[in-house]
Chain A
């Protein structure tokens, strides 16, 4: 089977991030970029499926021209080839614009399955998987904690607040995965060396036949109007035990859906 995995380069979550005061977007130049952690689970799931059923994994990434670490990491883990979409006009793309560009890239590829992380650690909208499925006219199976492929059918465990739903669809389909799904492998030295020789197709908007006005700042429907520093965390609730401490605690946990 042919699997496409979408990966995004994000600022290192461990680094001190700041917003660019002019654009109110994350200042990506100020911190190291790396592959979005959740996307490593998507790559791992694709590699495991291909190891089981045969096929190939193509990794697709979109970002500034120096945001190459994310797809390189996926190639080092074992993906077969990469497509990298980069164009200055893509800067500022919101989830809607991003999904348009990515859908266009997917239109140039053959695939049975598209896998991506269920959210990126920078913006955390979790919108792209659903938007992309809609644009491609494919079934969306989001928040998957388990994926099984049987012939032309796919079945996933879709994580919910209380457990999981079992969802089935016909291929091709779009699947977003959560961290529970597997343990991503670390690249081996052989994988690192092999990745240097793997094909990377570089695309820009002109090559893709996409109008610059439909993506980037120009094509985005959402705008960040203002940003303020998050207030410090509020004080916790103190439960004084006057014989009813136990039930108070359980009531609190239940209200937060922990029990």
Chain B
């Protein structure tokens, strides 16, 4: 992918994947997603179709049922889905990047074989439980405890805003928990695999969200939730390091998703301004409208370059922390700005849920918050500059 910096065209296989997902989003998602969104319902048939298409297996090897692709391919798919709808895009992002990827990267052979095959097919979904009621950006402030009792881990505590944690097909929730404290009270963090339906795990009713209304998000409560000793994911005490890597990659994925939303705003507006008339002209003839759409296009394009650059570094095995933060910051703020302008161009219709731009407006805000707020991204960028 490093050649992408010199050759701005996508390699043929990525372009063909992009076209396939574009067609899927247009034909299978766009006609029906508004209804799921209105009802705050999880679109099981769409997720199953995404599974059949192999989207949940994109970055994983075929020995686990994956597609032998990479993280770049995943991001291509996320951008194309989010051009049409962010709920299905975040379901894929969280399922792969947060759910399956830690198991693939840190799991034992047995754990990988046991969990990944169904997850790669999209027949089951996995979630990652990090955020707690009292700690968002302060992600290391984990209070959930996993005590080592006999041959089990006994988990107590609660988690907030956990995507994919409560669907009918959720099989696994990876939970970050304190497994010990040293004499100074510093926490030793580890990740523990908790199968859905484990006694002592309560999945709270779904949140009433402003956006992403067709995705699945719950709070979780662990009350003496007991899982076997061997459900530890990777090395004990390495939980913090594991999730830092997971979040760095996840930022590129969210940047790709945000780019898709920004591009979706352009798509919708280009169509609309050629149909809608005001004061005797199509509104696309007015420069005030043209400039708004030109800005939207420029933002989408810049966002795309930013995430592709960060993903290119990731694939090349080079450091990408700063570039991922820049991509996430730029793309999510681009999405928010473009959604606001798209809704403005649509006028009253932009305030209606049945119009895609109404959904885009509601879906954009969370992009500046989830997987690292814009402030956290600025913190990471500033830190990379050695200002003090």
Docked complex Cα distance between A187 and B53 (Å): 7
B54 touches A190 (CB 8 A): yes
Write out the residue numbers on chain B whose beta carbons fall within 8 Å of the beta carbon of A188. Answer: 20, 53-54, 67
B148 contacts A by Cβ under 8 Å: no
Which residues from 178 to 196 on chain A have a C-beta closer than 8 Å to any C-beta of chain B?
Answer: 185-193, 196
Chain A residues with CB under 8 Å of chain B are 72, 76, 185-193, 196
CB distance from B295 to the nearest CB of A (A): 27
Q: Which of A189, A191, A196 counts the most B-chain CB atoms under 10 A from its CB?
A: A189
B67 touches A187 (CB 8 A): no
CB distance from A80 to the nearest CB of B (A): 18
Write out the residue numbers on chain B whose beta carbons fall within 8 Å of the beta carbon of A186. Answer: 20-21, 23-24, 53
B67 touches A190 (CB 8 A): yes
Write out the residue numbers on chain A whose beta carbons fall within 8 Å of the beta carbon of B16. Answer: 72, 76, 187, 192
| CB-CB nearest in chain A for B12 | A196
Chain B residues with CB under 8 Å of chain A are 12-13, 16-17, 20-21, 23-24, 52-54, 58, 62, 67-69, 73
Docked complex Cα distance between A193 and B52 (Å): 17
CB distance from A122 to the nearest CB of B (A): 19
Docked complex Cα distance between A193 and B70 (Å): 12
Q: A185-B52, A186-B23 are in contact. List 13 more A-B contacts (CB 8 A).
A: A72-B16, A76-B16, A186-B21, A187-B16, A187-B20, A187-B53, A188-B54, A189-B69, A189-B73, A190-B62, A190-B69, A191-B54, A193-B68
- Chain B contact residues: over half helix, strand or loop, or mixed? helix
CB distance from A68 to the nearest CB of B (A): 11
Write out the residue numbers on chain A whose beta carbons fall within 8 Å of the beta carbon of B67. Answer: 188-190
Pull 22 A–B residue pairs with CB atoms less than 8 Å apart, ordered by A. A76-B16, A185-B53, A186-B20, A186-B21, A186-B24, A186-B53, A187-B17, A187-B20, A187-B53, A188-B53, A188-B67, A189-B17, A189-B58, A189-B67, A189-B69, A189-B73, A190-B54, A190-B62, A190-B69, A192-B13, A193-B69, A196-B13
Write out the residue numbers on chain B whose beta carbons fall within 8 Å of the beta carbon of A193. Answer: 13, 68-69
CB distance from A111 to the nearest CB of B (A): 27
Name the one of B12, B13, B23, B24 contacting A189, with C-beta atoms under 8 angstroms: B13
| CB-CB nearest in chain A for B58 | A189
Docked complex Cα distance between A157 and B88 (Å): 37
Write out the residue numbers on chain B whose beta carbons fall within 8 Å of the beta carbon of A190. Answer: 54, 62, 67-69
CB distance from A13 to the nearest CB of B (A): 13
Write out the residue numbers on chain A whose beta carbons fall within 8 Å of the beta carbon of B54. Answer: 188-191
Write out the residue numbers on chain B whose beta carbons fall within 8 Å of the beta carbon of A189. Answer: 13, 17, 54, 58, 67-69, 73
Docked complex Cα distance between A239 and B53 (Å): 48
Docked complex Cα distance between A72 and B58 (Å): 20
A-B complex: 9 closest residue pairs judged by Cβ atoms: A188-B54, A189-B67, A189-B69, A190-B67, A186-B53, A192-B16, A187-B20, A186-B20, A186-B24
Docked complex Cα distance between A114 and B338 (Å): 50
Write out the residue numbers on chain A whose beta carbons fall within 8 Å of the beta carbon of B23. Answer: 186
CB distance from A204 to the nearest CB of B (A): 24
Docked complex Cα distance between A37 and B365 (Å): 38
Write out the residue numbers on chain A whose beta carbons fall within 8 Å of the beta carbon of B69. Answer: 189-190, 193
Write out the residue numbers on chain A whose beta carbons fall within 8 Å of the beta carbon of B12. Answer: 196
Docked complex Cα distance between A193 and B69 (Å): 9
Write out the residue numbers on chain A whose beta carbons fall within 8 Å of the beta carbon of B53. Answer: 185-188
Docked complex Cα distance between A72 and B19 (Å): 13
Docked complex Cα distance between A186 and B16 (Å): 11
Docked complex Cα distance between A192 and B20 (Å): 10
Write out the residue numbers on chain A whose beta carbons fall within 8 Å of the beta carbon of B62. Answer: 190
| CB-CB nearest in chain A for B17 | A189
CB distance from A71 to the nearest CB of B (A): 13
Docked complex Cα distance between A76 and B54 (Å): 13
CB distance from B105 to the nearest CB of A (A): 19
Write out the residue numbers on chain A whose beta carbons fall within 8 Å of the beta carbon of B20. Answer: 76, 186-188, 192
| CB-CB nearest in chain A for B21 | A186
Docked complex Cα distance between A76 and B23 (Å): 14
Docked complex Cα distance between A15 and B285 (Å): 22
